[in-house]
Structures are given as structure tokens and as C-alpha cells.
């Protein structure tokens, strides 16, 4: 199979994609739209894109394209602990380093470590952590370091000097696997954290209590929500759709009845699928 | 006053900050955390950071830092239509252009225009639209173009070749003004779109219907929500806080009673302020 992912090479999304699709052909894409387009036009069978907390790309775009391209569904969700490492070219020594390169969000997420240990070393923004690592590997004479993931260190032959320099241990990035098939993805080699279902719900009009009414459908059935996010419709200000994920194993009768009740409320519902949540390695 | 903003120079956030604070000193910051830190430690009186749909920085960070630093409140919200322009060095001609540089999200947002008119011209990612514009201005011999905003064109003396090349007319970026004062920001020179109030609500535990119970507090009072977003707590998977904005003019009794009722439900509530929503120029 061909799997599109949000590139460049050695991005965090590639780190997710290589674990989710170890035996498939991976196609790096420049942005989230290109990942959706590749699935839509058949160039790729599936795609791996960030859903939450990513430093690569504005994740709200993922929700917007799920809304705009209704034939694209979710096959799986995958959670990866964020781990940033400080790395240099093996020909260099850490005390020689004059500048540290990375994506601005990775620099921000490693602020306390960098501020404590490399306060006087200049930090410089790169378009991605992977691009910073690649640049380091190609310019050993410049005496630079990069903050990137260990996949980048491996791919570009860099030496990791400090591991896990991120400020918070419990920080995660979420990814989803998307396709047009609407069949759940299964992988016996990864830990399963749980099951959930995703829905996009558009309210008939903007009125007080509208969302409350929608959530009643889930509340009295004791269906627990694990995520809710409102997004502005592109038709103008003040119109919204909601991305909701419901926790738990798929129950045909319960869910089908909830969907019928949502439609009876005059909402538009795009059922994105019922799928597993996997745990990835950082 | 000193106003921190998410830089670099000529970023969309600077375009917002110059309209919101025309007479104040603006301090560019490398990332969203630095903006919050500058306000927290008193280096800046206020900061302008993206809240929604930005191509500069992961906006979920804004919600996380609002949660992590409770003394920082919201003074205003500002909406700016997104407008991307194609620009070149005035010494060049458009037919000579060999590469187009920009932030990957700006290239994605201009996909249809670029694909129709510059299909065979190579696109290359930059860490920001502003950095791309700056590079163009410094390298006239390279015959490159940039996709950036008109503030960048003006600042770096570039010639705009095509205006408004973004795919959707009705695409907006939202910003907030943050400070420790908790006093609403007022500006008579900008159009006011409305008034709203922001809250961060943490549920006592993860149980079915918990959010529904919280939204009941707003629903029966006919308080309309304009945004709701769940964010994972950094304590681990499965724990959430919610960012909610409520539409409408501040009503002391109604809102105070709603807050009391939320607290009676054992939720933790951080009231972020009641403030105006302004319309900015793109």
C-alpha cells in the first residue's frame, strides 16, 4: 500500500507512519492538504496526519479537511509521547557548539533545558526539526547542534548528546490514519489504548443551548466524550461545526440510535468511523 | 507600553499587533511560550498571540499556557481575514521566477492559485512567510518569489504581483491580547464585532455526561457558546480541561450565578475575562 504522511523525511509524523505501516511505501507530503488530496485522488491508499498538539503544521487544518472532504474517514488514532533530543555531527564536540537549530515549537518545548545548559548559545528557527537535523549533518564545519527526534538522528548519522530535553514528561502528539475505505485499521504489534468513534456535527443554526441539546444525545446514553472542538465554517463568522470523539467499544444499536436522534435534531452528522487508539514509541 | 507578539518581524501576529497597539513598543518573540513568559515576568505589559487558525505556531499552546499560568487573562479578541499575496524583488520580472518560497501552510492555502498559474515552478518551505519575504528582498539575483502578507511586502520593499491568492475568501485568523491586569482592552479606531467571555473549566473526573452537566449551566440561562475546545491535561492521557467562550454582553448577575453553579459542580473554573471582539484589516 501507499501511505502519504506529513513530511519532510524524519518528521514526527514519519516516525508515527513507520510504526503504523512498517511494510508499506511511505510518501512524504509538504502539508496536511497534500496528504488529504493524495487520499482523495487515489495517489495514496491512506495517510497519517497530526490531530492534536503537533509542532508540524496547524492541526486545525486536519479538522477542516475532514469536514470539507466527507468521503475521507478515520481508521485509527495513535498517540506518541513527545521526545526531543539534542544532537550534533559526530565530528564535533558539544563544547564547541555555537548555535542550536530547530523548529521554534521544539525550541520552546525544550526551553528550560536549553536555558539552563546553553543559555548563551544562539537559537535559530528552522522550518522543521528534521530540516535542522539534515542541515547539521551536511555542515560539520559550522559547529551547530539540532533539537530533533531520534529517527532524525539515526537517518542523518548524528550523535545524541542529551536525551529527553523536553520540559514536560507527559506531553503527547496525536495522529490519525485516514482513508476512503471506512474500515478500522488493526495492528497486533502495537499496544491498544482503547476504542473510540469520531463525528463531525454541524448545528442547524447558531442558537443558545444548541450544543447542549446535541450533547444530551450522548449524556443520557452514558457515552463519554474524549474530545470536543468547535471549528468556524468557512462560510463566515459565527457558524460552527464540532468534532467530537466518543470513548468506548462500538455498540451498533446504541450508536445507531444516537445518530438517528442527532439527525432528528436537524444537525448534519458525518460519522468518521469507530476505531482503535494505539500507543506509539517516541 | 511594551507589547510582546509572536514574531518574526512582518508576521501575521505583528500585522495584528500594529493595528491593536499603534502607539506602543512592540517586542517580537520567537514562540508563544516566550510571549506568555514576557507578560508573566513583567518584561511586557501585554502580548498578542494567535488563538485560532494561525499558520504561525501551534495554537493549542496558547490554550495550554492560559491554563498553566492562571494570572494571565484575556483583554480582547481580534479577527483578521487571511490574505496571501505573491511578491517579488522589484528588480525582477514575474516570468523569470524559478522558485516560490513561503511557510508550508501558506503554500497549502494558496494551492489552487499556485497550481493553476505556477504549476512548474518549484515551491520551497520556509519557517515563516516573513522569513521568505526577507530572503527575497536580500537575494534579488536568485529570481525567487514569496507568498506573504502585505506588511511584509511593505517592510522589505517587495512588489506584489498577485493579490489575495488564498483559496478561500472567508478564512480568518483569531488573536487574543493577554495581560495580568484583567481589564478589558478598548480601541475606538477598530470595528467591534461583539462581546464575549472566556473560561477554562476542568472537570472533577472523567465521567460520561460531565461536560453535558457543565453546559447545562449555560444552556438554561440562554448563554450561547461561540467556541469550545477540549485539551489534554499534562498529567497524562484521559484528563481534560475545556476552553469555552460565551457570546454576549457581560451581565454581572447572570454570569456570577453561572460561575457559582459551576463551582458547585466541583469543577475548577478560571475566568479569563469578558472582552470585545475586534475586526482587523488583512
Q: What does the pLDDT read at residue A128?
A: 84
Q: What does the pLDDT read at residue B169?
A: 65
Q: How far is it, in rounded angstroms, from Cα A17 to Cα B65?
A: 29
Q: Residue written as cell 512592540?
A: B26
Q: What does the pLDDT read at residue A7?
A: 82
Q: What does the pLDDT read at residue A1?
A: 95
Residue B167 banded pLDDT, cuts 50, 70, 90: confident
Q: What does the pLDDT read at residue B248?
A: 79
Does the pLDDT value for residue B65 go beyond 80?
yes
CB-closest option in A60, A224, A228 to B53: A60
Q: What does the pLDDT read at residue A235?
A: 60
Give the whole-number percent of chain B exceeding pLDDT 70.
95
**Chain B residues touching residue A228 (CB < 8 angstroms):** 211, 228-230, 242
On whether the CB atoms of residues A257 and A185 are closer than 8 A, the answer is no
How much is the average pLDDT of B254-276? 91
How much is the average pLDDT of B40-59? 86
Residue B239 banded pLDDT, cuts 50, 70, 90: confident
Comparing CA positions, the residue from B32, B41, B31 lying closest to residue B64 is: B32
Chain B within 8 Å of A222 (Cβ-Cβ)? yes
Q: Which domains does chain B have, with CATH numbers?
A: 2-81+172-279 (3.30.70.260), 85-162 (3.40.190.10)
Q: Where are the alpha helices (DSSP H) in chain A?
A: 12-20, 32-40, 60-68, 104-109, 111-117, 129-138, 150-155, 210-219, 252-264
Q: Find, in chain A, the residue whose alpha carbon is nearest to that of B235.
A: A170
Chain A within 8 Å of B124 (Cβ-Cβ)? no
Q: What does the pLDDT read at residue B238?
A: 57
Angle between helices A252-264 and A210-219 (to 10 degrees): 160
Chain A within 8 Å of B218 (Cβ-Cβ)? yes
Chain A within 8 Å of B41 (Cβ-Cβ)? no
pLDDT digits (tens, 9 = 90+) for B123-166: 888 878 998 999 999 999 999 999 999 999 999 999 999 999 99
Q: What does the pLDDT read at residue B53?
A: 72
Given a cut of 70, the residues of chain A with pLDDT beneath it are: 54-58, 169-170, 234-238
Which residues are B256's β-sheet partners? none
Residue B87 banded pLDDT, cuts 50, 70, 90: very high
Lowest mean pLDDT segment, chosen from A11-20, A225-234, B235-244, B265-274? B235-244
Residue B106 banded pLDDT, cuts 50, 70, 90: confident
Q: Residue written as cell 472582552?
A: B275
Q: What does the pLDDT read at residue A169?
A: 65
Mean pLDDT of chain B: 89
Q: Where are the alpha helices (DSSP H) in A139-246?
A: 150-155, 210-219
**Chain A residues touching residue B229 (CB < 8 angstroms):** 228-230
Q: What does the pLDDT read at residue B205?
A: 74
Q: What does the pLDDT read at residue B56?
A: 65
Q: Per mean pLDDT, which of A46-60, B56-70, B177-191 is the most reliable? A: B177-191
Q: Residue written as cell 478564512?
A: B171
Q: N- to C-terminal Cα distance for chain B?
A: 24
Sign (positive or negative) of CA dihedral B124, B125, B130, B132: negative
Does the pLDDT value for residue B208 go beyond 80?
no
Q: What does the pLDDT read at residue B78?
A: 96
**Chain A residues touching residue B208 (CB < 8 angstroms):** 218-219, 222-224
Q: What does the pLDDT read at residue A109?
A: 83
Cell of A186: 488493526
Chain B within 8 Å of A193 (Cβ-Cβ)? yes
Q: Return the half-sphere exposure (C-beta side, CA atoms, 13 A cut-off) of residue B162.
A: 17
Chain B within 8 Å of A128 (Cβ-Cβ)? yes
Amino acid at each position: 500500500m501507499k501511505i502519504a504522511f506529513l513530511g519532510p523525511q524524519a518528521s514526527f509524523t514519519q516516525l508515527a507512519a513507520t510504526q503504523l505501516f512498517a511494510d508499506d511505501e511511505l510518501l512524504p507530503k509538504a502539508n496536511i492538504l497534500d496528504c488529504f488530496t493524495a487520499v482523495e485522488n487515489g495517489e495514496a491508499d491512506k495517510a497519517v496526519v497530526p490531530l492534536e498538539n503537533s509542532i508540524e503544521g496547524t492541526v486545525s487544518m486536519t479538522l477542516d479537511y475532514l469536514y470539507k472532504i466527507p468521503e475521507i474517514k478515520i481508521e485509527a488514532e495513535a498517540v506518541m509521547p513527545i521526545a526531543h533530543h539534542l544532537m550534533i555531527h559526530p565530528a564535533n564536540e558539544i563544547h564547541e557548539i555555537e548555535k542550536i537549530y530547530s523548529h521554534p515549537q521544539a525550541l520552546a518545548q525544550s526551553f528550560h533545558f536549553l536555558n539552563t545548559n546553553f543559555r548563551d548559545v544562539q537559537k535559530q528557527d528552522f522550518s522543521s526539526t528534521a530540516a535542522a537535523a539534515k542541515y547539521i549533518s551536511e555542515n560539520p564545519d559550522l559547529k551547530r547542534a539540532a533539537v530533533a527526534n531520534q529517527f532524525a538522528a539515526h537517518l542523518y548519522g548524528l550523535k545524541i548528546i542529551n536525551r529527553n530535553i523536553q520540559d514536560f514528561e507527559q506531553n503527547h502528539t496525536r495522529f490519525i490514519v485516514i482513508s476512503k475505505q471506512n474500515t478500522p485499521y488493526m495492528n497486533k504489534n502495537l499496544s491498544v489504548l482503547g476504542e473510540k468513534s469520531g463525528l463531525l456535527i454541524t448545528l442547524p443554526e447558531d442558537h443558545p443551548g444548541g450544543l447542549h441539546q446535541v450533547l444530551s444525545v450522548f449524556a443520557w446514553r452514558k457515552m463519554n466524550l474524549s474530545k470536543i472542538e468547535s471549528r468556524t465554517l468557512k462560510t463566515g463568522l459565527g457558524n460552527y461545526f464540532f468534532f467530537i470523539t466518543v470513548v468506548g467499544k462500538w455498540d451498533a444499536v446504541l450508536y445507531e440510535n444516537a445518530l438517528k436522534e442527532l439527525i432528528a435534531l436537524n444537525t448534519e452528522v458525518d460519522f468518521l468511523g469507530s476505531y482503535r487508539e494505539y500507543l506509539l514509541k517516541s
